[in-house]
Amino acid sequence: MDRLEIGILGIVATLIMIGIRVPVSVAMGVASFAGIYFMMGIMPAIGISKAIPYDLIGNWNLSAVPMFLLMGYIASSAGLSSGLFSAARVFLNRIPGGLATASVASSAMFASASGSSVATAAAFSRIAIPEMLKAGYAPSLAAGSVAAAGTLGSLIPPSVLLIVYGLTMDVSISTLFLAAVVPGILSALVFVAMITIRCILNPSLAPKVDEKTTLGQKLELVRDIWPLPVLILGVLGGIFTGIFTATEAGAIGAFLACVIALFRRTLTANTLKIALIDTAVGTATIFIIVMSAALFSSFIALSTLPSWVTLQLAEFDTIWVIILICLLYIVLGCFLESISIILLTVPVLAPLLTGMDINLIWFGVLAIKLLETGLITPPVGMNVYVIRSSLGNTIPLGTIFSGVSWFILADAFTITLLVAFPVLTLWLPGIAG
């Protein structure tokens, strides 16, 4: 067999192993080692397997991952996100479908601190869905809005996925964060518009909630939610103004979260212990996948597969290549975890994107948006199963998928806008210089 055939067989073997529930990191590592062995022999395979993962993990920029995870876990464990939904529902209850809109708004803010779609969906499935069901909302709308809103954690900065993409493609993480702001806000606004229009056309989906509050109560709610906006503005403001880098921002964000929690007297020894353990577990999981992916990238490069793919698609118009990539990401998003998809596909796609002069910042934001959609797309929409697990048998799985179908259509509209108008993504980095 030549190198190209070995490369193709390596990808097929990786997907088969993943399909039979072999951990993604093990599947990529085994296929890569075996592929390099068949191409170059045992000693090069051992040498590459030792050197490349070590070099990658030694990259200083990766330190941002545990720090942003720690910031999110402290914000969650110390209750810095408490009151988000309560405040949003008070200020938005006059809008048709106000509680569902409140779920989207509060999830977007929580997601910007946690950076985790799954964590956002899990948190708000216990907070927002019971409130919507109690108010007479359709179960499909209640569950669908929380599942879809949870996906905003993948795109709204600071996002671990954006960090991983930036390191893999060797592009500026700060620029990626800037580029993701408008698409992240746009995604939330499209969700809100879709909810509002549906509830106007079909009021039975979301009965009006007649909830009156005094000015004093509203001010009290605002006082309760100040920590999270301060944390987000402190981190993103420092990055965007150039006071510190995206890598440094992780540590500053974690420190700021601790300071705010201490000020509110919610940072106990047990809370800190839980946050540190969760951070260690999350970091180890991501780093193991990243190390295997680094080895996989080397295997794919040695196989000449990227240049073959570039040659095959060279005759296609750029828009058709983008459409094919979009379809690929959506299909993979139905079955695989987001970080794994990024690390699995980037080695093959990077030369193609570079050769076709496709802006890597724009593509990175588009790719993360596509992965967001995969989190709620059947048959394996991760956020849907997280909500089902949190709620038990309260809402059937089919009802949740029925609810998210409207949000998948909303995502399709947003993706179309991002493809048709790249300026939506590149405008903010452009004016920031």
Contact 136, 207 (CB under 8 A): yes
Confidence of residue 424 (pLDDT cuts 50, 70, 90): very high
Mean pLDDT in the chain? 81
Contact 25, 291 (CB under 8 A): yes
Q: Which of 89, 80, 73, 170 is nearest to 137 (CA)?
A: 89
d(CA 129, CA 288): 34
d(CA 115, CA 334): 20
3-class DSSP state of 42: helix
- pLDDT value at residue 410: 94
Instruction: Please name the residues in contact with 226: beta carbons below 8 A apart, sequence gap of 6 or more.
Output: none
Read off the tokens for 299: 């295997």
- pLDDT value at residue 349: 83
The number of folded domains in the chain is 1
Ranking 112-126, 171-185, 198-212 by mean pLDDT, the lowest is 112-126
Is there a domain that residue 23 lies in?
Answer: no
Structural domain boundaries, residue 373: 61-283+305-432
Each residue of 283-312: pLDDT tens digit? 887 788 778 877 887 888 788 777 787 777
Res. 413: pLDDT tops 90: yes
Instruction: Please name the residues in contact with 233: beta carbons below 8 A apart, sequence gap of 6 or more.
Output: none
Ranking 109-113, 146-150, 251-255 by mean pLDDT, the lowest is 109-113
Is there a domain that residue 411 lies in?
Answer: yes
Each residue of 55-113: pLDDT tens digit? 777 777 677 778 878 887 787 777 766 666 667 767 777 788 888 888 888 877 777 66
d(CA 159, CA 365): 11
Ranking 33-42, 199-208, 211-220, 304-313 by mean pLDDT, the lowest is 211-220
Q: Which of 282, 370, 388 is nearest to 334 (CA)?
A: 370
Q: Which of 364, 347, 359, 368 is nearest to 318 (CA)?
A: 359
Is there a domain that residue 13 lies in?
Answer: no
Res. 14: pLDDT tops 70: yes
Is there a domain that residue 41 lies in?
Answer: no
Instruction: Please name the residues in contact with 303: beta carbons below 8 A apart, sequence gap of 6 or more.
Output: 3, 4, 6, 7, 8, 10, 35, 39
- pLDDT value at residue 135: 80
Is there a domain that residue 115 lies in?
Answer: yes
Question: What is the rounded radius of gyration, in angstroms, for the C-alpha atoms of the chain?
Answer: 22
Is there a domain that residue 14 lies in?
Answer: no
Is there a domain that residue 46 lies in?
Answer: no
Q: Which of 156, 11, 2, 185 is nearest to 72 (CA)?
A: 156
- Residue 321 burial by Cβ neighbours in a 10 Å radius (0-12, 13-18, 19+): middle
Half-sphere CA count of 403, side-chain side, radius 13 A: 27
Res. 334: pLDDT tops 80: no
- pLDDT value at residue 186: 92
Mean pLDDT value of segment 397-414: 90
What count of other Cβ atoms lies within 10 Å of the Cβ of residue 147?
32
Mean pLDDT value of segment 172-196: 90
The length of the chain in residues reads 433
d(CA 78, CA 257): 9
- pLDDT value at residue 221: 67
- pLDDT value at residue 341: 80
3-class DSSP state of 21: coil
- pLDDT value at residue 163: 83
Res. 213: pLDDT tops 70: no
Q: Give the 3-state DSSP-derived string for 389-422, with helices as H, strands as E and coil as C.
A: HHHCCCCCHHHHHHHHHHHHHHHHHHHHHHHHCC
Res. 387: pLDDT tops 70: yes
Instruction: Please name the residues in contact with 55: beta carbons below 8 A apart, sequence gap of 6 or more.
Output: 294
Instruction: Please name the residues in contact with 215: beta carbons below 8 A apart, sequence gap of 6 or more.
Output: none
Q: Which of 144, 152, 159, 77 is nearest to 108 (CA)?
A: 152
Is there a domain that residue 171 lies in?
Answer: yes
Confidence of residue 150 (pLDDT cuts 50, 70, 90): confident
Angle value at C-alpha 153, between 372 and 384, nearest 5 degrees? 55
Mean pLDDT value of segment 339-346: 79
- pLDDT value at residue 81: 64
Q: Which of 91, 63, 3, 26 is nearest to 293 (CA)?
A: 26
Mean pLDDT value of segment 135-158: 84
* DSSP states of 357-394: T--HHHHHHHHHHHHHHHTT-SS--HHHHHHHHHHTTS
**What CA dihedral angle connects 91, 92, 95 and 98, to 10 degrees?**
-140
Q: What is the pTM assigned to this prediction?
A: 0.79
Contact 162, 180 (CB under 8 A): yes
Mean pLDDT value of segment 337-342: 76
d(CA 188, CA 369): 12
Instruction: Tell me which of 186 and 293 has the higher pLDDT.
Output: 186
